[in-house]
Amino acid sequence: MTTVIYPGTFDPITNGHLDIIERSAVIFPKVFVAVANSPSKKPLFSLDERIELARQSVAHLANVEVFGFSDLLANVIKARNVAAIIRGVRTTTDFEYELQLASLNRLLTNGVESLFFPPTEKWAFVSSTIVREIYLHGGDVSELVPPAVFNALQERCPK
């Protein structure tokens, strides 16, 4: 069975992330969504909250499993027998950064490849950072995130 991993901070998970997960789930029999702890990024939601929001967002996908991690991604990949890393790339800047990570991950995992997914046009401009900024400044993000995330944002930062 080919298992792939889609790692990220997912603070919060967006419809752009969900689109990549859904597209991956059609191609691969098993997709891990690995939520990185990433304390240096000072996330709005805790690791446990981000894991739960991701689980709620992918509940309709039987072949997707969500878990959190604090370890080096290469160690997670080895421990879970992952065949490839899924990454979304929106811009050339994303691509350059992801290309560096892909090379390092290939080295650290003895050859595990990274597969780059371009965004669906509808979600090409959406990022977690933008969603947080829009929401925290009073904007409507209801069309940019899954319903569970929108509800969590309203509870965390009521307008």
Q: Check whether the bond before 12 is cis (ω within 30° of 0).
A: yes
Residue carrying structure tokens 């290469």: 74
pLDDT at 54 over 80: yes
Q: Which residue has the higher pLDDT, 98 or 156?
A: 98
What pLDDT, on the 0 to 100 scale, is given for residue 159? 66
Mean pLDDT for the chain overall: 95
What pLDDT, on the 0 to 100 scale, is given for residue 92? 86
The helix/strand/coil state of 35 is strand
Query: Rounded to whole angstroms, how far apart are CA atoms 124 and 94?
Result: 12
Annotation-wise, does 80 bind a ligand? Answer: no
What pLDDT, on the 0 to 100 scale, is given for residue 73? 96
The mean pLDDT value for 130-156 works out to 94
What pLDDT, on the 0 to 100 scale, is given for residue 157? 76
The mean pLDDT value for 32-43 works out to 92
Annotation-wise, does 124 bind a ligand? Answer: yes
pTM: 0.95
Percent of the chain with pLDDT over 70: 99
Task: Kindly give, in sequence order, each residue whose CB lies less than 8 Å from that of residue 129, ignoring residues fewer than 6 positions away.
Answer: none
Query: Rounded to whole angstroms, how far apart are CA atoms 112 and 30?
Result: 16
Annotation-wise, does 88 bind a ligand? Answer: yes
Structure confidence at residue 142 as a pLDDT band (50, 70, 90):
very high
Annotation-wise, does 2 bind a ligand? Answer: no
Annotation-wise, does 22 bind a ligand? Answer: no
* Residues known to be catalytic: 17, 41, 90, 128
**pLDDT tens by residue, 89-139:** 998 888 999 999 999 999 999 999 999 999 999 999 999 999 999 999 999
In order of start, what are the domains of the chain with their CATH numbers?
Answer: 3-155 (3.40.50.620)
Query: Rounded to whole angstroms, how far apart are CA atoms 22 and 6?
Result: 11
